[in-house]
Amino acid sequence: MVYPPLKLSAALSRQGSAAHNEDAYVCEPAWGFYAVIDGATSVVPYRVPEGMTGGWLAAQVVALVLRQNARQRALCSLPLNAVLALANDALGQAMQDADIDTTQPENLWSACAAVVRLSDTYLEIAQIGDAVVEILYADGRAVLATPDQLATVSETTRQKCIEARAAGCNSPSELMDFLRPHLVANRRLANRPGGYGVLNGMPAAADFIFSQRIPLADITGVLLMTDGLRTKGTVPFVRDEADGLGVEAVVKHVHSMGLAGYISWLLSLEQEDSTCLRYPRVKVSDDKTAIWLSRLNPHDEN
The closest alpha carbon to 117, from 24, 214, 23, belongs to: 214
Domains of the chain: 7-294 (3.60.40.10)
pTM of the entire predicted model: 0.89
Query: Quick one: the chain helix, strand, coil %, rounded to 5?
Result: 35, 25, 40
Q: What is the pLDDT of residue 75?
A: 55
Q: What is the pLDDT of residue 302?
A: 45
Q: Is residue 28 scored above 60 in pLDDT?
A: yes
Question: Do 178 and 50 touch, CB atoms closer than 8 A?
Answer: no
Residue 142, φ and ψ in degrees, nearest 5: -115, 120
Q: What is the pLDDT of residue 238?
A: 43
Mean pLDDT across the chain: 85
Q: What is the pLDDT of residue 74?
A: 52
Q: Is residue 192 scored above 70 in pLDDT?
A: yes
Q: What is the pLDDT of residue 102?
A: 93
Q: Is residue 236 scored above 60 in pLDDT?
A: no
Count the neighbouring beta carbons within 10 Å of the beta carbon of residue 269.
16
Mean pLDDT of 163-186: 82
Q: What is the pLDDT of residue 240?
A: 39
Q: Give the residue with greater pLDDT, 181 vs 64.
A: 64
Q: Is residue 117 scored above 90 in pLDDT?
A: yes
Q: Is residue 237 scored above 90 in pLDDT?
A: no
The rounded distance, in Å, linking the Cα atoms of 186 and 180 is: 10
Q: What percent of the chain has pLDDT over 90?
A: 49
Confidence of residue 239 (pLDDT cuts 50, 70, 90): very low
In the sheet with 122-128, reading across from the earlier edge strand, the strands are 23-28, 33-40, 110-118, 122-128, 210-215
